Structure 1
Amino acid sequence: GMGGLPPPPGMAAKPQRPKLPAKKKIKPGKKMKALHWNKLSNEDAHDTVWKDLGKHDSAILGDLDIILIEQSFGDLPKKKKKVQDGEGGEGSKKNPEKKAKEKKKLVELLDGKRRQQ
């Protein structure tokens, strides 16, 4: 980390690398899906591709289709289930028999006698 005590006598201090320039934050037009990643420290980023991307920010951002990215990675609104008249509509928790019947529709192409032959 940064700061702290100076190194003990006889040990050379590790030269500090220059900080990477801060990136411009892009605000999307709608809520996006979460990305689960670990942020790199400046020290760790110096040995990666991210170090050189700052030189090309304007070219990269100019080529991005922000609308396509928002359509592809936008967070979809959650659908709410409707309950009819408080009694529970079709397939509700209050009517499990009807829901089970809807799921168990079996289509038979051969009658039972022919299948056994």
Structure 2
Amino acid sequence: MHCKVVIRKAPNIEIFKCNSDGASRSNSGPNSGAYCVRNENGNLIFAEGRRLEDGYNINAEVVAFRMGLEHCIQHHYVPLIMETDPLMIKNIVDGGWSIPWSIVVEIEKIKH
């Protein structure tokens, strides 16, 4: 088991923040994903984690990001900051990087 300290920086305005993370036991192996939503005061509003389909680590990261985004949209948690650790997701969603074939469907859902 590995642990790391995560320091949350609260936004300066009334805004929600969603942090997501995905993990894979091995590439390609058992995956899980989770996200949490906090309000402008840093109070936890909602958190969810679940076992995902087996696959690559990037799949777990993208699915966790999409799950958090969809939850926030469905519950009108806007304006919203989405935060995740892989820079790859930002670069793909922004159109700077090509989309790996294994996550095309998830990226299209996120963009929609």
TM-score (norm 1): 0.16
The structure that has the greater radius of gyration is 1
- Give 1 or 2: higher strand fraction: 2
Higher relative contact order (CA 8 A, sep 6+): 2
